[in-house]
Chains A and B, each alone.
Chain A
Amino acid sequence: MKNIFLFIQRNFNFLGFLILEIVCIVLLNNSSKTHQVFFSEMAEESTGKFNKQYNNWRYYFSLKETNQQLVEENARLRNLLPSNFQSPDSSTQQIVDSLMRDSLGRSRKYTVLPAKVIGNTLTLQNNYITIERGSLQGVKKGMAVMGSTGIVGVVVAVSENNAKVMSLLHRSSKVSAMLKKDNSAGSIEWDGADPSFLILKNIPKSSKVNKGDTVLTSTYSANFPSHLMVGTVYSVVADASSNFFTLKIKTGTNFFALQYVYLVNNAGYAEQMNIENSTEKNP
């Protein structure tokens, strides 16, 4: 206590000076709006600085909790992502085959259904593609599958929401195809070697095949509409022992980057198969 008084006594003038200056500032603060704003701002700024520092420390201690909250938030938001809510694709696109006419006008033969590719193999001998569209969305066994730049395969198995497509890159895949140039038909197969190339067999040597000729689906196929792109002739091999060429076809479809495909439903498929598979009753 005595020391305090001593201190005050020793620094009496300085303390007096300080007190008077403070009184000046207070008076100034009371009389002038500008100064009032300035001083309150200054006070807030300095206390704000301390608060910020203190908050930083507190923030550090609640980091664990914050992390937990963020993780939960992330999980919640991820569950809201639109890609999680992909509804089964049930849209349809109709193609009217203008060649099929009857007395009532035109009747629909082919229906095109878009589908997303969710599985695809290339490296096996028997490759399959899985699509996200099933029987509930109108997929049936035997439907043709095409991409935007060429045919892809045939549906071989259907579940409720998915379907399995036998890719053209399958040892037992067989699609009827023809040369665009002269409509000579053959059959597309795969030798299991390179996913970029198919084999077109049974083109007669009478047709003049050149490199780069376009190959389309033929009119004979039950599941594929005619004149769909298959690929282009890459090389011509003349088999000396037969009357047919064996053509190496560059695929129209890029099987390496398959995203969306279109399923083609032939309304007359069952009937055609039925008649093709029936045995003659009266030979």
Chain B
Amino acid sequence: MSDLIKNIVRFALFILFQVFILNEVPPLHQFIIPYIYFLYILWLPFNINRFALLLISFAFGITLDYFTGSAGLHAAPCVLIAYLRPFLLNLLIPQDTTEHSYLEPSIKSMGWAPYSLYVALLTFIHHFLLVLIEWLQFGNFVYFLGKVAATTAVSLLLIFITEMLFFRKAKFRTNKA
């Protein structure tokens, strides 16, 4: 299965999973909203064009927005993490080996610690911006941070489970593609 088709399938699956399963979960607590859809952006290949990454993220976010009926709400944080992703990856991976030998970010390709940091940071940033533009104010800042932290924690838990369930084989880059 080529990368393109695989990513298109992922696109659809992430959206559908987020919209029809996670968004249907009855609210457990005011702090907790399970989000996992943005993992799609984190999983996109290393060698993708940065501008293409932005456009794909925008399209991904806006698709989710049209499902939830709030155009632009999820697209903005998606574009933000898509913009920040290359910088973070540059910092976290050993430049000379990984990017050239692996296709996409994963535990295997980056190692536990860098991958966890990568996911956690981008998740936090995503939720920070999401909650901010949802509320349009910090309000009680402790409450705001609590909400962001709790949502991040739930997301990280979901991502962890996902990583365990769908163990991606770290693909080496081949010369033929």
Contacts and interface: CB of A to CB of B under 8 A. Distances in A.
**Chains A and B are bound partners:** yes
Given A24-B58, A31-B71, A38 B79 contact: no
Contacts of A13: 50-51, 54, 83
A30 B136 CA distance: 15
Contact of A24 (B55, B75, B83): B75
Contacts, number: 61
Nearest to B58: A20
A28 B54 contact: no
Which 7 interchain pairs have the tightest Cβ spacing? A28-B72, A27-B72, A24-B76, A27-B71, A31-B71, A24-B72, A17-B83
Contacts of A86: none
Given A31-B70, A31-B71, A34-B136, A23 B58 contact: yes
Interface of A: 12-14, 16-17, 20-21, 23-32, 34-35, 38
A31 B136 CA distance: 15
21 contacts: A13-B54, A16-B54, A17-B54, A17-B79, A20-B55, A23-B72, A24-B58, A24-B61, A24-B72, A24-B73, A24-B79, A25-B76, A27-B65, A27-B71, A28-B71, A29-B72, A30-B71, A31-B69, A32-B73, A34-B136, A35-B133
B50 to A, nearest CB: 5
B33 interface: no
Contacts of A24: 58, 61-62, 72-73, 75-76, 79
Residue among A24, A28, A29 having the largest count of chain B Cβ atoms under 10 Å: A24
A28 B73 contact: yes
A21 B76 contact: yes
Interface string B114-130: 00000000000000000
B90 to A, nearest CB: 13
